[in-house]
Amino acid sequence: MSNLYWLSEAQMERLRPYFPKDRGRARVDDRRVLSGIIFINRNGLRWCDAPAEYGPPKTLYNRWKRWSDMGVFARILMGLAEQAPDNKTISIDATYLKAHRTASSLRLKKGGVDA
């Protein structure tokens, strides 16, 4: 796949202060894993659909889950926002999914009795 996303070394240097400290064992390549997590989230893919260049999908998921639970990604976003506040731009995500009016009745059998 030629459209893979890779964080630059300059971007990694900005992010490193927010990473948790090593606990004795060296982590799998942070750049590769974070680039894979961003690629998955940006493209709305399942973890199992991650390109092999980012490593095993389980590694991507485990890092995402562990760092999410620890608040690492929230600290990164807050820290980056504090470094260069731009009070002129506000972004609001108003994405929603609208279900068809018959979607709630899919579990019902034709006679109106629960399955």
> What's residue 68's pLDDT?
94
Partners of 108 in the β-ladder: 114
> What's residue 27's pLDDT?
83
Total domains in the fold of the chain? 1
User: Containing domain of residue 36, as a range?
Assistant: 30-83
d(CA 80, CA 76): 6
> What's residue 1's pLDDT?
46
Report if residue 19 sits inside a domain. no
Report if residue 64 sits inside a domain. yes
> What's residue 91's pLDDT?
66
d(CA 71, CA 66): 9
Report if residue 36 sits inside a domain. yes
Partners of 114 in the β-ladder: 108
Mean pLDDT in consecutive groups of 10 residues from the start of the chain, 115 residues? 85 92 83 95 92 95 94 90 72 66 61 57
> What's residue 71's pLDDT?
93
> What's residue 96's pLDDT?
65
Report if residue 12 sits inside a domain. no
